Amino acid sequence: MDHRLIRVPTGIGDNIWLAQKLVNQKEKFHFQLSDAQPQRGKQIFDVLPQITASCVYTPGLSYQNIYNASKQFLNKKWSDIKDKDFALAINHNLENGKRIEEFLPDLKTSFRIKYDIGVYDTEDAGFDIRPGTSRIGVYTSGNHMNKVWNGWNSREWFDLLQKIYAEKPNTVFYIIGAKWDLDLGSELITLLESNNIPAVNVIDQPLGYCIGLMKLLDYFIGFPSGMPILNESLGKDTFMFYPEHLKPMMYAWADEKRIKEKKYMASLFCSPLEAFIMIKNGYQLFDKL
């Protein structure tokens, strides 16, 4: 079969949003992504065989190229896109506060995605799951991104987790991330361990491993990135921070029913105490653990 080609943005979250639409049509595609660092987007297509014929990093392909050429600007409906190769990006819609359902509206939006993670789809896949504990995943990103987006340093992340642990001392924190997140993640793990707060380092694990682990967690707290978006696409409860410039996106992409029920919660970066109060009183975390 002669599969069509789609050029897409590089982020994991960007492509989960696209997948939530593309899983509801009949084709598989060849995907091209920018080869700029950090190269992270391809791994989401590796666990989405239902839409992926192939996926490669492509030299010279930039997000601006994709944004400028995105067929969604010219073709509101999926059925209008007849090209053999084209670009597709949803980011600009969500960044302007448009709901995900408005993107290619003739395709259903699947808020839950089934990922093919192979050996990691079992509880005995090597996860450090401790009986009788409450398990919370944490994605901090790295120091550079937190500075750029006015996010938290390791001490602020520690302040939030310490407050949660004081309230629920059987909690184990799973610090998730990629190798470029090692600086802040390692600092946080050191702070937790030096204060005798249980922490499991799962930084730089394969994406399939992270998905399998997320299925076993009780809650997820994350920097604005693909990881909390991935968690939410599993139907797992999520708290996600945002920088000021992405405020319109905060409630544009998650299932509105889950937003209403506070199973998905969003906040601009605030103080650790303010975040703790939202998680405790808004989500009622400690009644659920």
Q: Answer for the pair 241, 268: CB distance below 8 angstroms, yes or no.
A: yes
Name the residue among 238, 209, 223 with its Cα closest to residue 136: 238
Judge if the upstream peptide bond of residue 38 is cis by omega within 30 degrees of 0: yes
226-260 confidence digits (pLDDT tens): 999 999 999 999 999 999 999 999 999 999 999 99
pLDDT for position 63: 82
Q: What is the CATH number of domain 4-102?
A: 3.30.370
Name the residue among 253, 254, 274 with its Cα closest to residue 262: 254
Q: Percentage of residues in the chain with pLDDT exceeding 70?
A: 99
Q: What is the mean pLDDT of the chain?
A: 93
* CATH 3.40.50.2000 for the 123-288 domain, yes or no: yes
Measured distance CA(203)–CA(187) in Å, rounded? 12
pLDDT for position 161: 98
**Taking the domains of the chain in order of start, what are their residue ranges?**
4-102, 123-288
pLDDT for position 1: 64
- Range with lowest mean pLDDT among 30-34, 181-185, 197-201, 265-269: 181-185
